[in-house]
Structures are given as C-alpha cells and as structure tokens.
C-alpha cells in the first residue's frame, strides 16, 4: 500500500533506497509562481550531509540535487516538481553479515516479516538516507512559508545528559556547530560527551525541538486533521523518534488547571496569551502564538559492541557491526524535523484557504 506520500494539497512522494541508483521526491500541488532554483534546495540538503565533523560518520555523500520538472524560467509552474539525488558513494562491499541477520534496533526483521525479503544494502528504504527526499521537498515548503511570513527553526535541545541553555539562544550556532545546538557552550560539552561514547564504541540519544514564528491563528482542521495531530505524525515518522511533545508536553500530566491554562489579554489592540504552555495550539488549531514541538530520538542502533541476535535461518548469533556510523542521530535529524514541520504547516495553510464561504466568494467574484 502507498505509504510514501505526505500531505493533502501540498503533497510529496519520496522514493529511493540507501544504496540504490538514486533517491528523490515528487512534489505535487506546489502553487505556481514560487521562485525556485537548485541552490534553494541544496542549502538544506547540505545540513544533513555527513562527514562535517568529528562526531559524524566520515562517509562522503555529496547529495547534489537536480530539478527535473515543474520549474520553468525560475518559477514553479504548478505541475509536479521532481527532484533527484544520484547516489554516488555506494562502494561495492560485503553485505553478507547484515543480509543474513537482524540488526537489533533496526527494521531488518520487520521488513522481512512484511515483505518476505529486503534490499539489505545499507538498510535499503529503512535507512536514514531516505530522509534526503523529505529535506529536498521541505526546502521548497520553507521557501513558500517564508513568503507567507512563517519562520520554522529546529535545533538540538539535548544530547545525552547535556542540555542547551535556551537563554543563550544563538541561531547561527545551529548551522555551524557539530551538534546543531543553539548554544555554543552546551555544544562543546556535548561534543566531549559524544567523543567519550565513541571511544566506548557506543552511541547516545538526544532531543530536538522546533519552534515556529509568524504562523497565523486558525490553521488546523478538527477533529482528525488537527495541527498537533499532523505534526505528531510528521515528526514520529522520522526514524528513531520515540516521543513527541507539543508545548509543555509530558509536564502537563502533573499540572493543575490553574497552572496550565494560558490567559488571554489585550495589549495595544492585539490579543495575546499571557503564557504559552499550549505551544501555540488550542483544540488542534493554531492560536497565533509560537508553535513548539519536541522530539525524543533514540541512540543510533548501529554500535560496534557485539550484540546477540538471530539470523535469517533462525539461529542465534553474535553481530559485530562494521562500517561508519554517527554516534548520535540528532544533529543530522534536526533539518529533517524542520522540513517535516514546514511540510505540515504549508499544507495546513493551503487546506485552510476554504474554511469560510466569504473567502470563496471573494476569490471568485472580485474583479
């Protein structure tokens, strides 16, 4: 069944395996007239490129994007935008060990159970490399959102026990530190922590956060297409994410109503909330305040330590994973979270165009 598409009006379909010929995405439903060139997309793909630092795999993936359709004379035409990234770094290697056994924490076993067999090269479709298509499409969504005054920004909130101090929020650091933290001090502590984990041939988990400014009130559709429900799906669909929080998230279950409710007040003729425990969403609809989403990411399952597992013949065995792997997933996943958020928001904003009859009348009967 078709599970590779996301969105209702601004709808993307990703394709490609880790070590196949290429990966890509088709964006269907992008409005006509958006200025777009390959460099707009490449900028985002470069953020998930490995090999950028000591705490990332030294594999080289250039991930050069090619626009194959849907753009004419520098603008989107309203027809499908096909984006492709050729795989260039797959070297011929021996996959026999992972082909024959089920790596703990990976999808080897479940793919085999579902489909009867799998493309075992580098994890095939279940590889994190699959997210390249999401990021390429998300870059287009981000560009469209910026024209609508919406700014989406994801970053690493914590790595293992090391948490970013948001009072020192430095947006530029997100793009330049190895951890994608918005706090250079925490970044240095996290790098030290990661290097220790690498020495133990182990891996670590972390937390990422996304905040959105400029989103108007009224976005999201009751009762199943609520904005928070779709954001939860979008973010939970990123491999290794095991929990999603909106606003104060898990903390609300220990709160009193008198603490948790956000009051409304007028100031200078504008309504605002006196606090934002809700994270910008009430009843599944945006309230005009800052949107806040958090995702908890498990440690990289590929570790060099020996692990008990089972092979395809149904025999117990011990696995020692070779190859080059990130000791933490979060820093390269931050841009994926930003993109999945952007895709969800842009689609929801397009869906919202038809909420009121007077907008339709206005659209079709003016001049």
Smaller CB separation from its own copies, 50 or 280 = 280
Contact present, 104 and 90 (Cβ < 8 Å): no
Q: How far apart are CB 109 and its own copies at their closest, in Å?
A: 6
Judged by phi (left if over 0) then psi (alpha if -120 to 50, else beta), residue 268 lies in left
Smaller CB separation from its own copies, 167 or 365 = 365
107 DSSP 8-state letter: S
- For residue 227, which of 217, 242, 238 has the smallest C-alpha distance? 217
User: Per-residue DSSP letters for 285-330?
Assistant: EE-SS-EEEEEEEPPPS--SS-EEEEBTTS-EEEE---S---S-SH
Beta bridge partners of 13: 5, 26
Gap between the Cα atoms of 119 and 350, Å rounded: 37
Smaller CB separation from its own copies, 22 or 175 = 22
Q: How far apart are CB 201 and its own copies at their closest, in Å?
A: 9
Q: Which token pair is 50?
A: 């490995």
Q: How far apart are CB 151 and its own copies at their closest, in Å?
A: 13
Gap between the Cα atoms of 222 and 345, Å rounded: 15
Q: Which token pair is 112?
A: 């085999």
Smaller CB separation from its own copies, 337 or 350 = 350
Contact present, 8 and 351 (Cβ < 8 Å): yes
Q: How far apart are CB 173 and its own copies at their closest, in Å?
A: 20
Q: How far apart are CB 95 and its own copies at their closest, in Å?
A: 11
Q: How far apart are CB 172 and its own copies at their closest, in Å?
A: 24
Smaller CB separation from its own copies, 5 or 89 = 5
Smaller CB separation from its own copies, 172 or 198 = 198
Smaller CB separation from its own copies, 173 or 297 = 297
Smaller CB separation from its own copies, 172 or 206 = 206
Q: How far apart are CB 162 and its own copies at their closest, in Å?
A: 10
- Residues in contact with 69: Cβ distance below 8 Å, sequence separation at least 6, in sequence order: 79, 80, 81, 82
Q: How far apart are CB 153 and its own copies at their closest, in Å?
A: 19
Contact present, 264 and 275 (Cβ < 8 Å): no
End-to-end CA distance of the chain: 45
């Amino acid at each position: 069944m078709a599970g590779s598409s996301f969105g209702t009006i601004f709808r993307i379909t990703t394709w490609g395996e880790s070590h196949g010929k290429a990966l890509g995405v088709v964006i269907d439903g992008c409005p006509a007239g958006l200025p777009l060139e390959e460099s707009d997309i490449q900028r985002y793909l470069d953020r998930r490129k490995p090999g950028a630092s000591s705490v990332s795999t030294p594999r080289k993936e250039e991930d050069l994007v090619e626009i194959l359709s849907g753009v004419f004379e520098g603008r989107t035409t309203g027809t499908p935008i096909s984006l492709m990234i050729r795989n260039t770094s797959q070297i011929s290697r021996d996959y026999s060990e992972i082909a024959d056994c089920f790596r703990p924490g990976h999808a080897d076993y479940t793919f085999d159970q579902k489909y009867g067999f799998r493309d075992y090269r580098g994890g095939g479709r279940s590889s994190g490399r699959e997210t390249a298509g999401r990021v390429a499409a998300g870059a287009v969504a981000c560009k469209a959102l910026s024209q609508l005054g919406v700014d989406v920004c994801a970053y690493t909130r914590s790595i293992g026990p090391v948490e970013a101090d948001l009072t020192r929020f430095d947006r530029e650091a997100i793009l330049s530190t190895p951890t994608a933290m918005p706090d250079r001090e925490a970044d240095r502590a996290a790098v030290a922590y990661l290097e220790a984990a690498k020495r133990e041939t182990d891996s670590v988990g972390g937390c990422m956060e996304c905040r959105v400014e400029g989103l108007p009130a009224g976005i999201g559709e009751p009762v199943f297409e609520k904005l928070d429900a779709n954001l939860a799906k979008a973010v939970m669909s990123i491999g290794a994410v095991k929990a999603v929080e909106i606003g104060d998230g898990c903390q609300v279950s220990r709160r009193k109503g008198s603490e948790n409710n956000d009051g409304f007040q007028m100031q200078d003729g504008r309504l605002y909330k006196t606090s934002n425990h809700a994270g910008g969403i009430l009843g599944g609809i945006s309230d005009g305040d800052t949107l806040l989403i958090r995702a908890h990411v498990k440690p990289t399952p590929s570790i060099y330590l020996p692990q008990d597992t089972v092979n395809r013949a149904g025999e117990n065995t011990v696995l020692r994973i070779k190859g080059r792997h990130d000791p933490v997933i979060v820093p390269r996943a931050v841009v994926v979270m930003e993109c999945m958020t952007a895709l969800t928001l842009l689609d929801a904003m397009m869906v919202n165009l038809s909420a009121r009859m007077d907008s339709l009348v206005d659209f079709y009967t003016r001049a």
